Structure 1
Amino acid sequence: MTVQQLIETMGLTVFHLTDPERPVTGGYVGDLLSWVMGRAGQDCAWLTIMSNQNVAAVALMADVGCVILTEGVQPDADLLRRAQDKGVNLLGTSLDTYTAACRLGQSLG
């Protein structure tokens, strides 16, 4: 599945979209950035409530396909700018994290 297909399937909000054709092959849920760096898989969709600029740096280091801010969280200005500068696919949903993770799993089959 691509990021664009995931957006359409889950009805995600697009905050920044650099690479809509980037594959999404799995998911990771976490808010402790050091854990995400060491455990999130390449090309996964990372679900988090963290919204500061460090999210973009961790997304790059972990090489995730996209970041999905859950619970209606909006990116702060620094995160949005960093996502734009570094080419991070940054998305959002009003779903709670558990429900978003379940939908992600269903979408990826």
Structure 2
Amino acid sequence: MTLQTLVDKEIFTSLYLPEHTDTEITVPFCCDLLSIAMSRAPAGCAWVTVMANMNTLAVAALTDCACVILAEGTSFDEACLNKAREQGIPVFSTTLPIFEAALKVWEEISQP
């Protein structure tokens, strides 16, 4: 599944998308503890979190996440969105709880 799939299916609200949306999403990853995410988030994951701050973007860049999905109605402020644009990190948001958002990603990845 690619970022474009999430856009086309309108599963989440896109806050920032780079020009190229053909990045593959390999697995959902749920974590709100940045130190754990930094050591365990797999490259290519859709990281689902409620942590909407600059450190989240730093971890996303370090771990090479495919995108960040801010759950439970959280959102980045303008400074964070500018940093996401600067670093080319795709960001989505949703009002869904973390688990349900990750499940949506999993269901899309698991479809034949």
TM-score range normalised by the length of the shorter chain = over 0.9
Question: Residue in 2 aligned with 1:55?
Answer: 56
Aligned partners of 1:10 and 1:103 also within 8 Å: no
Runs of 4+ in 1 over 4 A off after TM superposition: none
Which structure 2 segments of 5+ residues have no match? none
Question: TM (normalized to structure 2)?
Answer: 0.91
Q: Post-superposition shift, 1:64?
A: 0.4
CA distance in 1 between counterparts of 2:101 and 2:7 reads 12
Matches within 5 A, 1:1-109: 1-9=1-9, 11-18=11-18, 19-109=20-110
Percent of aligned positions with the same letter in both sequences?
Answer: 36
CA distance in 2 between counterparts of 1:40 and 1:7 reads 22
CA distance in 2 between counterparts of 1:106 and 1:14 reads 19
Q: Post-superposition shift, 1:10?
A: 5.3
Aligned residues: 109
Which structure 1 segments of 5+ residues have no match? none
CA distance in 2 between counterparts of 1:86 and 1:93 reads 21
Q: Post-superposition shift, 1:11?
A: 1.8
Provide the aligned C-alpha RMSD in A.
1.2
1:52-99, Cα deviation, whole Å (9 max, x unpaired): 111111100000000000011111222111101111001111111121
